C-alpha cells in the first residue's frame, strides 16, 4: 500500500506543522499574559515544539508503552502469542518481528506503536489475551501489524506526544490565569485597556479550546486508518471472521475501561479504551462503530482480498471507498 504509506508520511508532516502552529499560538498568549512578552512565549513554544517533535520521533513508542504500563515479554513467556505475531509479521512482509508487550489490565484491547517496521511493538491486554481463540488472536495481531505495515504507528506516536504537550501547556496556563497569576505589569498606557482585554479573552478561549482543536485534528484520519488495518487483517490471515469475532467479544466487554488509557493514547487502541459508548457524532469518535466494522468483515464472505473489503465498505458508505487504488491493483 505505497499510496497509504506515502499518505501517512505526508499526514505526519502536516500534523506536526498544524500542531506546531497551535502550540505557537498557545505560547504567544502564555507569553503575553504570564511573562509580559509574546516573543518569549513564542520562543518557549518553539523550543517545546522542537523538543517534543524529536522525542516523539525517536522515543515516542517507549513513552506510549510506558504510559500504557505495558511490559515486554519473550517467546518463552507466551509461545502461542509470539508464534501468532511471527506468522502475521511474515504474512505482512515486515523486515523485523515487532516486540511483544502485555498490559496487565482486565479490559479487552490492543494497540501497536513504533517509528517504522524496523522499530515497532504490539501490545495486548491480559484480559483480551485470555478471551481470544487462536483465530481471533491472529485477527487482532494482524490488525495491529497492519498499522505497522501502513506506517500508521509513526503518525500515532507523533500525534500522541504533540497532543500531550498542547494539553499540558494549556492546562498549566489556564490554571495560572484562573488563580489570578500571570504578569500584571503589561503595558497599560495609551488607553489600550479595552484592546488588551479583548486579546486576553481571545487568548483564554484559545487556551481552553486548543486541546479540543488538537484532539479533533488527531482524530481527523484515525477512523480511516482503523478500516485499512481491518482490511489488512483480512488479507494477512485469509480469514476475515477471526477479526470479526474478536471485535464482537471486545464489544460485549466495552464497558470495562483500560485504566492507563488517556485522550492522547486512545486512538491507538483497536477499540475505544474508555469503556464508553461510541460518540453520537462520528467526527468526535476515536473509532468507527464496532458493529459496522464487523458487518464489513462478514460481508466479505470467504473472499479475503482487499478488493472484497473495498466492495463491502462501499456498500455501507454510498459508494465511497477506503482502500488505495494501487493496493487494489496488486491484491
Q: Burial of 215 by CB count in 10 Å (0-12 exposed, 13-18 middle, 19+ buried)?
A: buried
The 3-state DSSP class for residue 302 equals coil
Q: CB–CB of 46/169 below 8 Å?
A: no
Distances (CA, A) of 102 to 62, 66, 117, 125: 14, 12, 20, 6
Q: Which parts of the chain register pLDDT below 70? A: 1-9, 11-12, 177-200, 202-204, 206-207, 211, 213-215, 217-222, 254, 276-286, 329-331
261/131 Cα distance (integer angstroms): 20
Looking at the DSSP bridge assignments, the partners of residue 73 are: 100
pLDDT attached to residue 8: 62
Q: Is 260 helix (H, G, I), strand (E, B) or coil?
A: coil
Q: Cell for 87?
A: 506468522
Q: Which three cell numbers stand for residue 214?
A: 488538537
Name the packing angle between helices 240-252 and 290-299 (round to 10°): 160
pLDDT score, position 190: 47
pLDDT of 93-114, one tens digit each?
A: 999 999 999 999 999 999 999 9
- Quote the cell numbers at residue 266: 486512545
Q: What is the DSSP string of 96-163?
A: SPPEEEEE--SS--EEEEEEETTEEEEEEEHHHHHH--HHHHHHHHHHHHHHHHTTHHHHHHHHHHHH
Query: pLDDT tens digits for 47-70?
Result: 887 887 788 778 888 988 999 999
Residue 197: CB atoms within 10 A of its CB come to: 10
CA distance 57 to 96: 19
| Domains of the chain as residue ranges with CATH | 67-153+219-330 (3.30.2010.10)
**pTM reported for the whole predicted model:** 0.82
Q: What is the pLDDT of residue 280?
A: 44
Closest among 95, 88, 64 to 243, alpha carbons compared: 88
Task: Respond yes or no: is residue 144 known to be catalytic.
Answer: yes
pLDDT reported for residue 279: 47
Integer Cα distance of 160 and 218 in angstroms: 8
List the grid coordinates of 28: 504567544
What does the pLDDT read at residue 68? 94
Active-site entry in 144, 226, 241, 310: 144
Residue 3 near residue 327 (C-beta atoms within 8 A): yes
Q: Which residues of 234-270 are buried (b: 16+ CB within 10 A; e: fewer)?
A: bbbbebbbbbbbbbebbbebbebebebbebbbbbbbb
For residues 114-130, one letter each, b for 16 or more C-beta atoms within 10 angstroms of the residue's C-beta and e for the rest, the string is bbebebbbbbbbebbbe
- 114: which strand partners? 120
Amino acid at each position: 500500500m505505497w499510496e497509504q504509506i506515502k499518505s501517512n508520511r505526508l499526514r505526519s508532516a502536516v500534523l506536526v506543522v498544524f500542531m506546531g502552529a497551535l502550540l505557537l499560538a498557545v505560547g504567544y498568549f502564555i507569553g503575553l499574559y504570564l511573562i509580559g512578552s509574546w516573543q518569549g512565549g513564542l520562543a518557549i513554544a518553539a523550543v517545546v515544539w522542537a523538543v517534543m517533535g524529536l522525542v516523539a520521533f525517536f522515543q515516542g513508542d517507549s513513552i506510549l508503552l510506558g504510559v500504557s504500563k505495558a511490559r515486554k515479554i519473550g517467546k518463552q513467556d507466551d509461545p502461542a502469542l509470539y508464534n501468532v505475531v511471527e506468522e502475521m509479521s511474515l504474512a505482512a512482509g515486515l523486515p523485523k518481528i515487532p516486540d511483544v508487550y502485555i498490559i496487565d489490565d482486565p479490559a479487552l484491547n490492543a494497540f501497536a506503536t513504533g517509528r517504522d517496521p524496523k522499530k515497532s511493538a504490539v501490545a495486548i491486554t491480559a484480559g483480551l489475551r485470555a478471551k481470544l481463540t487462536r483465530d481471533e488472536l491472529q485477527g487482532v495481531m494482524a490488525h495491529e501489524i497492519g498499522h505497522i505495515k501502513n506506517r500508521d504507528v509513526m503518525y500515532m506516536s507523533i500525534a500522541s506526544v504533540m497532543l500531550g504537550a498542547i494539553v499540558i501547556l494549556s492546562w498549566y496556563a489556564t490554571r495560572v490565569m484562573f488563580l489570578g497569576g500571570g504578569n500584571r505589569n503589561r503595558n497599560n498606557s495609551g488607553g489600550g485597556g479595552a484592546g488588551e482585554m479583548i486579546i486576553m479573552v481571545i487568548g483564554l478561549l484559545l487556551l481552553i479550546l486548543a486541546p479540543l482543536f488538537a484532539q479533533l485534528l488527531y482524530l481527523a484520519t484515525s477512523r480511516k486508518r482503523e478500516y485499512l488495518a481491518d482490511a489488512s487483517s483480512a488479507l494477512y490471515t485469509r480469514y476475515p471472521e477471526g477479526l470479526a469475532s474478536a471485535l464482537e467479544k471486545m464489544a460485549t466487554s466495552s464497558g470495562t475501561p483500560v485504566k492507563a488509557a488517556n485522550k492522547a493514547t486512545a486512538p491507538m487502541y483497536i477499540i475505544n479504551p474508555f469503556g464508553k459508548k461510541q460518540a453520537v457524532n462520528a467526527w468526535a469518535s476515536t473509532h468507527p462503530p464496532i458493529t459496522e466494522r464487523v458487518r464489513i468483515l462478514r460481508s466479505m464472505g470467504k473472499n479475503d482480498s482487499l478488493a472484497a473489503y473495498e466492495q463491502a465498505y462501499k456498500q455501507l458508505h454510498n459508494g465511497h471507498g477506503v482502500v488505495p487504488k494501487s493496493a487494489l491493483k496488486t491484491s
